[in-house]
Amino acid sequence: MDLRIALAGNPNCGKTTLFNALTGSNQFVGNWPGVTVEKKEGKLKKHDGIIITDLPGIYSLSPYTLEEVVARNYLIQERPNAILNIVDGTNLERNLYLTTQLTELGIPVVVAVNMMDIVEKNGDKIHIKELSRELGCPVVEISALKGTGVVEAAETAVKAAKGGRTIPMHTFSGAVEHALAHIEEAAVHHMPEEQQRWYAIKIFERDDKVLEQIGIEKGVLEHIEADIQAAEKECDDDAESIITNERYLYIASVIKGCYKKKSSGKLSVSDKIDKIVTNRFAALPIFAAVMFLVYYLAVSTVGTFATDWVNDGVFGDGWHLFGIGTADYEEDMNTYAEQYVFTDELKNMVNSAAEAGVIGAEDVQGAVEEADFGAFEEAYGSYADSLAEEGFDISELVDEALESSDVPDTSAYGVWVPSIPVLVENVLDAVNCAEWLTGLLLDGIVGGVGAVLGFVPQMLVLFILLAFLEACGYMSRIAFVLDRVFRKFGLSGKSFIPMLIGTGCGVPGVMASRTIENERDRRMTIMTTTFIPCGAKLPIIALIAAALFGGAWWVAPSAYFVGIAAVIISGIMLKKTRMFAGDPAPFVMELPAYHWPTAGNVLRSMWERASSFIKKAGTIILLSSILIWAGSVFGFVDGAFVFDPDMELESSILGIIGGAICWIFAPLGFGSIKAAIATIMGLVAKEEVVGVFGVLDFEGMTQLAGYSFLIFNLLCAPCFAAIGAIKREMNSAKWTWFAVGYQCGFAYAVSLAVYQFGMLFMGEGNPVGVIAALAVVIFMLFMLFRPYSEAKTLSAKKARSVA
């Protein structure tokens, strides 16, 4: 049979890093039975029949959170052959609390003291042999980040698994030990000897789940209760607190003999950094600057260069291998454009449009003046529709100039690599493929899926940067900093963790809310977590930024901070209602020392987030793109149901559906059929908002309408997968519908206010729309600033009790 070794430790102790080092690529991920908490297992490298199970990060085996319940159930019921307990050497006292509980389970335990490189760098000393003697189990030194000692730790755990059980060395006070002996004799004597002490301690603590599991007879339970009360009376405390206090007394005695801290009085590097990044006044501006930089690099600079290459090259016309020939082609194209494209007629039309204030005309004008055809092509492609709507249609002039045989052929320069659509089209033409099948493959599948995959490079950059911030320890500080902010608005700092996870995907973000014990806080976090832009929403942000704002640097960061603002505003408003009133749950977490993460861990974290997006592109998005294409080429013409690749959108099935609902979004500025279809398809998968425009082509919007469209799609109900996660976590259809309704209603209200007040500012406001937006803002302000109703009730009750 396989030997099973469980990895157990506190959050941020380096457990996952060790798991990755021990298993490498031999990992398999699923869910724990009956719950949606992620279960990670892997085969130990270079060993046959050794399975490593990565338990959720926990502080104790008390059943307060779902993670603790999952870990405890596995250890008690599955009983692995050994436990490899990872403890943070820089925070030994806090981490050993879990160790004292693990050694009571009767399972062989090996303690791996992690971050020993940092301990030594700080000048501290941990006497490993003495620590091993005090704990009664093997102890090894490791640095999971650097990979030192990890093989020895694994081999020691394997050896322990083949040996005997760990016998706990610590004992409690006389009164407690007396009660435990009575409990063992009266209630658990029938159990295996190695399990009796742990169960006795849990019965002493009055652990509900253990008492329910054992089913002690009433008479025996009363006898045991008398012993527990006697111990409580002698120790002058409740049973659970007695056990907790005595554990820490024992840990303190262990550390006194094993741990020598350098008394230099100097602050560590982490402490010096924390004095700045967690400063009461500087923390939030620094966080804003960091997140601005993250989105700026991902969407406006590094990520954009790669995305442009994928969109224009891989899924566009093609590209020059290694860029050879690009400069020569651009030079010749600019020369040709200056002579034949940028005619006096075109220049006069563009200048007139710029003088009339048509959106985007100045960008086109600038490209013409600089004789830069590449910049002109990009600006013209983005703003052609808005120019035409205002009576400045330059498409005929451009098309006529580019139809000449003298136009430089890009494929004649350097080594030209044709794109995927070009290759597919050539193959389909060669086999005389049917017209409908060509349209399906080329426009439906390649066009739709390609439009989404084109944004993968930006997502990879974003995920790498976020993974680095998490791995180095900065995001733990932000959770601590935002706890101060969130608590003022009725949310716990624990709410930030799901939101951080939700930047990759909303599904695990919603699932992470289960670490919040308070039911009201948990529900509120579930409802607001998806306001933070997830990876699937990044393509929408990039699309709007590029198509309507010329790649403006501020669009992407503003989307992130709109999400943060939505969370805070919702937190304040919801806390004013009876359903969510009450103090937020306390938030305690360890702040790990800053360290440089390994490239392998950062890349692995990036791939875990990105792979789900790519898999979705091959399944849900593929099917959605096919449906969108089919809906756009099948429809009714003169009362007959026909197939026509060039069918007018209004006559197609998709157009009929979009036309029936587009009026709903008209007050928000994007009441077109394509925008309505994109918004509805976004419920299937947010990436499909981009996929719709990939199949149907982008329909021109004003910048204001485009930003309103962006806000609505960022804040409205998430995709079906995330809604399913909300349903599982809420465990109530009523609460799920309430969450979805609130998200859509809030998104509609914010978008309405943005668009209508924006139009008013430009002098084009609609009186009815402005009044509706004003009503929305007044209601929000009322909810934001009215006193807590619960506070009033408590004050009234207190006044009555005093009277």
Query: Counting Cβ atoms within 10 Å, is residue 527 exposed (0-12), middle (13-18) or buried (19+)?
Result: buried
Whole-angstrom distance, CA of residue 220 vs CA of residue 211: 12
Tell me the per-residue pLDDT of 349-363, one tens digit each, with 9 for 90 and over: 999 988 888 878 888
Buried b (16+ CB within 10 A) or exposed e, 240-263: eebbbebbeebbeebbeebbeeee
Model pLDDT, residue 332: 92
463 close to 610: Cβ distance less than 8 angstroms: yes
Record the tokens describing residue 73, joined without a space.
Answer: 């159930």
Model pLDDT, residue 595: 78
Whole-angstrom distance, CA of residue 721 vs CA of residue 259: 49
658 close to 634: Cβ distance less than 8 angstroms: no
Model pLDDT, residue 586: 60
Range from 353-367, 382-396, 499-513, 772-786 that averages highest in pLDDT = 772-786
Residue 735: pLDDT band with limits 50, 70, 90:
very high
Tell me the per-residue pLDDT of 410-423, one tens digit each, with 9 for 90 and over: 989 999 999 999 99
Residue where the block lists tokens 């309408």: 705
673 close to 664: Cβ distance less than 8 angstroms: no
Section 609-613 average pLDDT: 75
Between residues 384 and 492, which one has the greater pLDDT?
A: 384
Angle, nearest 10°, between helix axes 474-488 and 555-575?
Answer: 40
356 phi and psi angles, rounded to 5 deg = -80, -5
Section 548-574 average pLDDT: 86
Model pLDDT, residue 540: 86
Model pLDDT, residue 507: 77
Record the tokens describing residue 410, joined without a space.
Answer: 């890009």
CA atoms within 13 A on the CB side of 605: 23
Angle, nearest 10°, between helix axes 361-369 and 344-355?
Answer: 140
Residue where the block lists tokens 């924390």: 274
Whole-angstrom distance, CA of residue 352 vs CA of residue 383: 15
Residues of the chain with pLDDT > 70, as a percent, come to 92
Tell me the per-residue pLDDT of 635-664, one tens digit each, with 9 for 90 and over: 998 888 888 888 888 888 988 998 899 999
Neighbours of 772 (CB within 10 A): 16
**What CA–CA distances, in Å, run from 744 to 462, 595, 711, 715, 760?**
26, 41, 11, 7, 24
**What CA–CA distances, in Å, run from 27 to 122, 155, 343, 608?**
34, 19, 62, 12
Residues 6+ apart with CB under 8 A from 713: 537, 540, 678, 679, 682, 686, 689, 747
Q: Is residue 345 over pLDDT 80? A: yes
Return the ∠ at Cα 6 (arms to 3 and 9), rounded to 5°. 160
Whole-angstrom distance, CA of residue 444 vs CA of residue 625: 6
**What CA–CA distances, in Å, run from 301 to 95, 366, 535, 627?**
42, 21, 17, 34
**What CA–CA distances, in Å, run from 585 to 493, 563, 695, 788?**
8, 22, 47, 17
Residue 799: pLDDT band with limits 50, 70, 90:
very low
In this structure, what DSSP letter does residue 652 have?
B
Q: Is residue 261 over pLDDT 60? A: yes
88 close to 3: Cβ distance less than 8 angstroms: no
**What CA–CA distances, in Å, run from 771 to 664, 777, 783?**
17, 10, 18
**DSSP string over 121-155:** HTT-EE-HHHHHHHHTS-EEE-BTTTTBTHHHHHH
Whole-angstrom distance, CA of residue 188 vs CA of residue 198: 10
Whole-angstrom distance, CA of residue 333 vs CA of residue 321: 19
Model pLDDT, residue 392: 86
Whole-angstrom distance, CA of residue 119 vs CA of residue 536: 41
Model pLDDT, residue 602: 85
**DSSP string over 108-130:** -EEEEEE-HHHHHHTT-EE-HHH
Model pLDDT, residue 589: 62
Query: Counting Cβ atoms within 10 Å, is residue 199 exposed (0-12), middle (13-18) or buried (19+)?
Result: buried
Model pLDDT, residue 801: 41
Handedness of CA 361, 362, 363, 368 (dihedral sign): positive
Q: Is residue 757 over pLDDT 90? A: yes
Tell me the per-residue pLDDT of 142-171, one tens digit each, with 9 for 90 and over: 998 888 899 999 999 999 998 877 777 788
Whole-angstrom distance, CA of residue 127 vs CA of residue 468: 32
Model pLDDT, residue 52: 92
Helical (H) or strand (E) element with 86? strand 82-88
Choose among 405, 429, 407: nearest CA to 418.
429
Section 513-530 average pLDDT: 82
Whole-angstrom distance, CA of residue 364 vs CA of residue 351: 9
Model pLDDT, residue 800: 44
For residue 385, the one-letter residue type is D
The domain locations on the chain are 3-162, 174-260, 318-418
Report the mean per-residue pLDDT for the chain.
Answer: 84
Whole-angstrom distance, CA of residue 445 vs CA of residue 731: 36
Whole-angstrom distance, CA of residue 379 vs CA of residue 372: 11
3-state secondary structure 714-762: HHCCCCHHHHHHHHHHHCCHHHHHHHHHHHHHHHHHHHHHHHHHHHHHC
CATH class of 3-162: alpha beta
Pick from 217-226, 258-267, 741-750: least confident: 258-267
**DSSP string over 12-35:** TSSHHHHHHHHHTT-EEEEE-TTS
Model pLDDT, residue 707: 93
Whole-angstrom distance, CA of residue 537 vs CA of residue 713: 8
Section 322-328 average pLDDT: 90
Helical (H) or strand (E) element with 3? strand 3-9
Bridge partners, 9 (sequence order): 86
Tell me the per-residue pLDDT of 688-728, one tens digit each, with 9 for 90 and over: 787 777 655 556 678 899 999 999 999 999 888 788 888 88
Section 766-793 average pLDDT: 82
Whole-angstrom distance, CA of residue 743 vs CA of residue 201: 46
Record the tokens describing residue 709, joined without a space.
Answer: 């469209």
Whole-angstrom distance, CA of residue 744 vs CA of residue 750: 10
Tell me the per-residue pLDDT of 17-76, one tens digit each, with 9 for 90 and over: 889 888 886 666 655 555 546 678 889 988 888 999 999 888 888 877 777 888 888 998
Neighbours of 603 (CB within 10 A): 15
Section 239-265 average pLDDT: 85
Residues 6+ apart with CB under 8 A from 132: 111, 138, 139
Neighbours of 582 (CB within 10 A): 15
CATH of domain 174-260: 1.10.287.1770
Model pLDDT, residue 492: 67
Residue where the block lists tokens 């090894």: 140
783 close to 570: Cβ distance less than 8 angstroms: no
Q: Is residue 287 over pLDDT 50? A: yes
Angle, nearest 10°, between helix axes 733-761 and 519-529?
Answer: 50
